[in-house]
Amino acid sequence: MQQVTILGSTGSIGVSTLDVLSRHPERYQVFALTADRQWQALADQCLRFKPRYAVINADDAYAPLVERLKASGCTTDVLCGTEAIAAVASHADVHTVMAAIVGAAGLMPTLAAVRTGKKVLLANKEALVMAGGLFTRAVLESGACLLPIDSEHNAIFQCLPNQQNNFLRDGVTTSGVRKILLTASGGPFLHTPVDALGAVTPEQACAHPNWRMGQKISVDSATMLNKGLELIEACWLFNVPPQQVEVVIHPQSVIHSMVEYIDGSVLAQLGNPDMRTPIAHALAWPERIDSGVSSLDLIATARLDFAAPDTERFPCLRLAQQAAAQGATAPAILNAANEVAVAAFLDRRLGFRQIPQVIEQVMAQVAVTAADSLDAVQWADTQARSCAGTFIGTLQR
Ligand code: NAD
Ligand code: MG
């Protein structure tokens, strides 16, 4: 019986993970569930899955969560705060950690799981974007087993020989890989006239054509900054330079990514766009288990289209490519600026087309340094957030 901690259990990935776990009660037991402040959803999950621990990040959500669980006779221990989240990620009894907190907040608890040698299922791409060098070094030092949940990276992993952490150390070129083809749906605004993009609302940006996801990643998909983060994520996971990763628009989201070998073979992983497939794959790896995802109907799909990305329409992709090429703390700066800009957009304080303006401004202003310590990464993150906040304050909507 494997004990599983889910960081960010109330989110989109967290809920899909619980759905897969619930199909295999003989294999997995929920050890701990964590959330930011959604205590009601967390309480419902505790009543159903009876974890040993539940951790809520927000102080003011602690008392109502404790009350509700007590009233229902639930014996789950309730803890509060970021240190407690890291503690349930690194607890000696835990085998597997699903890292599904959104944004930079996921870095420290995910690193805690990595440092204690857990099997880490990584959805929280921002952690790798911010601190990829420190993160991958920690994986190699602790012997943690790092498996990608992001559908593209999980697809790439499935198209590679079964070697897992060796990719972090040796790269995939030694396996005969020529390049990685990272597919992108293009999001909800792939064909929207560029002039109309300035007026799009958070609701329109979050209405992704193929995937139901949390708000932040939905906006990232609409700007295509998500694909930029994924480019950086792929470089760390598979130890390749950015030039070896090509972004390809594929609006149907049926092929989840591809790997091209030096003999000209291109391997692809296909499936319905449902995150339970990569979640089940990583949970059971190297075995396979049922995920609840229905069969892919190729006849109904009928066609698979491909196109080059348009960086005029999606300047965020260009900015991320620039950060990837720069390396050091540039990706952490890009990520922090984007988190602040997306939060402002969701709050209707910033226009959609101003998101890349904020990122560009912050990248021009904040000094890039070596990303050789967590302090250096945190410094870059803090500087970028402050710079983004100030700049947003000067902008007219
Ligand atoms: P979401 O917004 O639906 O859920 C986020 C979870 O993190 C929630 O449980 C929330 O309570 C928790 N959280 C947020 N801020 C926190 C904080 N400061 N401290 C502690 N917990 C906090 O997000 P999501 O769509 O599930 O995405 C989670 C991660 O997975 C992101 O990094 C995203 O890029 C990645 N991802 C998601 C999908 C998807 O289909 N949703 C696909 C690929 C990758
Ligand atoms: Mg993805």
Give nearest CA residue, ligand 1 atom 32: 124
Protein residue whose Cα sits closest to atom 27 of ligand 1: 102
CA of 90 to the centre of ligand 1 (A): 19
Amino acid at 140: L
Q: How far is the CA of 335 from the centre of ligand 2 (A)?
A: 16
Question: Which ligand 1 atom sits closest to the C-alpha of 8?
Answer: 9
Please check the confidence at residue 109 and state whether its pLDDT lies above 70: yes
Cα(11) to ligand 1 centroid in Å equals 5
Tell me the pLDDT tens digit for each residue of 67-91.
Answer: 999 999 999 999 999 999 999 999 9
- pLDDT, position 269: 98
Confidence of residue 396 (pLDDT cuts 50, 70, 90): confident
Cα distance from N-terminal residue to C-terminal residue, the chain: 54
Which of 101, 124, 230 has most ligand 1 atoms within 8 Å of its beta carbon, as the pocket-test mutant? Answer: 101
Higher pLDDT, 340 or 397: 340
pLDDT at 395: 93
Q: For the segment 303-360, what is each residue's pLDDT rounded down to a tens digit?
A: 999 999 999 999 999 999 999 999 999 999 999 999 999 999 999 999 999 999 999 9
**332 Cα: distance to centroid of ligand 2 (angstroms):** 18
- If one compares 100 and 170, the residue with the highest pLDDT of the two is 100
Q: Using CA atoms, how far apart are residues 24 and 292, in angstroms rounded to an integer?
A: 11
Of ligand 1's atoms, which has the minimum distance to the CA of residue 9? 9
**Can you tell me the distance from the alpha carbon of 285 to that of 374, in angstroms, rounded to the nearest whole number?**
30
pLDDT above 70 for 128: yes
- 164, pLDDT greater than 70: no
Query: Which residue segments constitute the domains of the chain, with CATH numbers given?
Result: 2-148 (3.40.50.720)
Q: pLDDT averaged over the chain?
A: 97
Residue 166, marked binder: no
Give the binding-site residues of ligand 1, using a 6 Å CB cut-off: 8-14, 35-36, 38, 57, 85, 100-102, 105, 123-126, 150, 211, 213-214, 216-217, 275
Which pLDDT score is estimated for 165?
65
Q: Average pLDDT, stretch 119-138?
A: 98
